[in-house]
Structure 1
């Protein structure tokens, strides 16, 4: 297994349970490592879920690609694609995008982007367990802005039977996604009021 030394200056983002670092050898990738003890479990759930999708030959355009495990000075981590805009610059998380573009952005535009993301997730039976302004990035390209899920898929309650059900029963994953996106859409409306 490859070993990487992660430096504090390479920290890209910090969630409740995990840190996300720039991959030391590949500018197009990042490494998620545990911040708290249960962060390792979240890495395991996400890796297992995304690998199950790739095993089913599902290349989902609204999800970051997962490459597998590496060893780091902060423990084991999982390597993912880094979300970048068409011009190569780092994409923004939805929260920062809305803050930066608030004057020109309408609630309807963000709701349309969320609807497109939801359609992809339902089409590919992706279990979205926590869509929020920190788990979604906005990728800009010539055709406009697209939302990309970087976290909050496959489960969040720790290792449980639900995680397996999302994999084995696509209707169960879709049901979870529909329920979570109803909450997410309400949240978007609140941001703009």
Structure 2
């Protein structure tokens, strides 16, 4: 069992909390916390399942997703381990929402285009949890950035069979992308 301490706490969403891995400062542990209004965290189950599908599919390019390292039992509940997204200077990357408050979305147009193309090229489905606060902007240098989805991976639809066919998966990605842009990036 992995012991997570309060000093290792990074962030908390509506159902899950993230902790720095106590034995590896390049990894983080996501756990469903108690009293989150749900007995089981379907979000974590779907995300873990989707990460496993990507691994089975042989995904080599994790540029826009944190790499997945498996499930773990912790003193705070069941969790899973993913890469901790850091900037070139070693600092934990900040959310895309943070940078959108400082700068206009136009500054990140190139990064957004590469980000969308990554999902299309790899047929990676994201859900409606993809919003600026669930995307980190990783600084590779002062002028080079990557967007990294840390929450909202996988499909929450009941009918997911079309996602296995690239043509239909890309159509779903494009529709969700348009909703994402219209809801969060247009003023």
Give the TM interval when normalised to the shorter protein.
0.7 to 0.9
**Cα pair distance change 1:123/1:4, threshold 3 Å:** same
Task: Give the drift of 1:34.
Answer: 0.8
Q: Which residue of 1 aligns with 2:180?
A: 184
Q: Which residue of 2 aligns with 1:4?
A: 2
Q: Which residue of 2 aligns with 1:76?
A: 78
Query: C-alpha root-mean-square deviation of aligned residues, in Å?
Result: 1.9
SS at match of 2:138: strand
Q: Which residue of 1 aligns with 2:45?
A: 44
- Cα deviation digits, residues 24-80 of structure 1 (max 9, x gap): 111000011113336632112111111111111112321111111111111110000
Q: Which residue of 2 aligns with 1:58?
A: 59
Task: Give the drift of 1:139.
Answer: 0.5
**Cα pair distance change 1:38/1:95, threshold 3 Å:** farther
Aligned counterparts of 1:115 and 1:65: Cα–Cα separation in 2: 21
**Cα pair distance change 1:67/1:38, threshold 3 Å:** farther
1:110–1:188 CA contact under 8 A, matched in 2:
no
Aligned residue-pair number: 180
Task: Give the drift of 1:89.
Answer: 1.0
Q: Runs of at least 4 residues of structure 1 off by over 6 A? A: none
SS at match of 1:20: strand
Please, which of 156, 161, 165 is the counterpart of residue 169 of structure 1? 165
Alignment of 1:120 with 2:118, yes or no, is: yes
Aligned counterparts of 1:24 and 1:189: Cα–Cα separation in 2: 40
Task: Give the drift of 1:165.
Answer: 4.7
Aligned counterparts of 2:32 and 2:181: Cα–Cα separation in 1: 29
Please, which of 11, 22, 26 is the counterpart of residue 24 of structure 1? 22
SS at match of 1:154: coil
SS at match of 1:69: strand
What's the TM-score, normalizing by structure 2?
A: 0.87
Aligned counterparts of 1:23 and 1:115: Cα–Cα separation in 2: 32
**Cα pair distance change 1:179/1:38, threshold 3 Å:** farther
